[in-house]
Amino acid sequence: MSDPTLPPSGRGYLAIPGPSVMPEAVLNAMHRPAPNIYAGELPEMMPGITADLKRVARTDGHVAIYISNGHGVWEAALANVIAPGDQVLVPATGHFAHGWAGMARGLGAEAQVIDFGKSAPMDPERVAEVLRNDTAGRIKAVLAVHVDTSSSVLNDIAALRQAIDSTGHPALLMADCIASLGCDVFEMDAWGVDVMVTGCQKGLMVPPGMGFVFFNDKAAQVRAAMPRVSTYWDWTPRANATDFWQYWNGTAPTHHLYGLRAALDLIHAEGMEAVWARHHLLARAIWAACDAWGAGGPLRLNIADPVHRSRAVTSLHLDPPQATQLRDWTESNLGLTLGIGLGMADSKDPDWHGHFRLGHMGHVNGHMIMGLLGGMEAGMKALKIPQGDGALSAAAGVIAGI
């Protein structure tokens, strides 16, 4: 079946920050008849899948799997440790932090947001300050988004843990790694993260539909002290399943599991360090091109300091409506789909058409990134958007390692 919005030949590239490009190995693994869910291969795959998921998250803790998207595991994680009337503290560096805070409120929690804007990382010291002032110990958890996919800011979760520890406050540290896991360096145990949530459709390269909640023993104790948790959201039986159905509290996401198995094989064959290094190299190529374009035109990276930029997603700005024009041009002329700006401006604000994003998470390599950048350059030329010289050469230099 052909998509009328794409040119008729060649492969398209969906360069949006999730869902990400799916490897052939994942697609092929999913192409099969309905498997038996009561015995045989599928139930037997589970111990290996959970062990390999924990290797991606760098944890010896527990993992509960849900048939859900990222929003679903936001709720799953909160439902296990946050009761109505509890307080959570949310350092916000973009759209998604506000979304998680809103969900906590929907579950009856009081969510206190510290807003760091849309172009800067959080300051762990300000989080510590609020915790120090919470002498009654009412704040039960800090909800921190590792990479906010709207702003593309990368937050320093290890520094946040140290800041929390410096106060002696017992609040749980809960991290949203939905955009970052399998792309940006993340060490759940070494960094002292108590709860981490992610989805399968970004760095894990599987179609949307599965979400994961990782938790440690400290979080399990908080769960044990909850007045009640719905049997569906409860992570305890899912993380300690002995029967296959208990992992899901019902029917398993059969084909997703085959896809996930293939994706985990790809990730661990490459190695976590190599996966992270590849994402860093490709991100640096993108940043080099953007710096060169921006030296002679309106393009600018949303996050000025490379230390605070994600390796999975890049948020950019042009003079409105150039961002929308560029996205339209590359999609209809090249089959290259760039991401919309999300949460950076209201959709009725003209500036909405100045924001856009690049997804470079998961199944990406050098030629795809050079194609992405070449396509953007062609689009800017076609639209007569001023641009500095040497962007593609700078990106190629990064990829070439010179």
Ligand X SMILES: *Cc1c(COP(=O)(O)O)cnc(C)c1O
* Residues within the interface to ligand X (CB under 6 A): 18, 69-71, 96, 145, 148-149, 176, 178-179, 199, 208
Q: Which is nearer to ligand X, 26 or 394 (CB)?
A: 26
Q: Which is nearer to ligand X, 144 or 222 (CB)?
A: 144
Q: Which is nearer to ligand X, 176 or 184 (CB)?
A: 176
Nearest distance from C-beta of residue 71 to ligand X, angstroms: 4
Look at the chain and count its residues.
402
Nearest distance from C-beta of residue 97 to ligand X, angstroms: 8
The answer to whether the Cα torsion of 214, 218, 224, 227 is positive or negative is negative
Nearest distance from C-beta of residue 233 to ligand X, angstroms: 16
3 state SS for the chain: CCCCCCCCCCCCEEECCCCCCCCHHHHHHHCCCCCCCCCCHHHHHHHHHHHHHHHHHCCCCEEEEECCCHHHHHHHHHHHHCCCCCEEEEEECCHHHHHHHHHHHHCCCEEEEEECCCCCCCCHHHHHHHHHHCCCCCEEEEEEECEECCCCEECCHHHHHHHHHHHCCCCEEEEECCCCCCCCCCCHHHHCCCEEEEECCCCCCCCCCCEEEEECHHHHHHHHCCCCCCCCCCHHHHHCCCCHHHHCCCCCCHHHHHHHHHHHHHHHHHCHHHHHHHHHHHHHHHHHHHHHHHCCCCCEECCCCHHHECCCEEEEECCCCHHHHHHHHHHHHHCEEEEECCCCCCCCCHHHHHEEEEECCCCCCHHHHHHHHHHHHHHHHHCCCCCCCCHHHHHHHHHHCC
Residue nearest ligand X (C-beta atom): 70
106, 221, 356 from 227: Cα distances, Å:
18, 12, 44
Nearest distance from C-beta of residue 7 to ligand X, angstroms: 28
Q: Which is nearer to ligand X, 288 or 313 (CB)?
A: 313
Q: Which is nearer to ligand X, 96 or 244 (CB)?
A: 96
Nearest distance from C-beta of residue 135 to ligand X, angstroms: 32
Q: Which is nearer to ligand X, 191 or 329 (CB)?
A: 191
Q: Which is nearer to ligand X, 71 or 280 (CB)?
A: 71
Nearest distance from C-beta of residue 18 to ligand X, angstroms: 5
Nearest distance from C-beta of residue 204 to ligand X, angstroms: 11
Is residue 169 a contact partner of residue 199, using CB atoms and an 8 Å limit? no
**Nearest CA-CA partner of 308 in 95, 124, 152:** 152
Residue type, 214: F
Q: Which is nearer to ligand X, 82 or 380 (CB)?
A: 82
Nearest distance from C-beta of residue 94 to ligand X, angstroms: 8
Q: State the Cα–Cα distance between residues 164 and 172, nearest whole angstrom.
A: 9
Nearest distance from C-beta of residue 187 to ligand X, angstroms: 18
Q: State the Cα–Cα distance between residues 313 and 69, nearest whole angstrom.
A: 18
Nearest distance from C-beta of residue 312 to ligand X, angstroms: 8
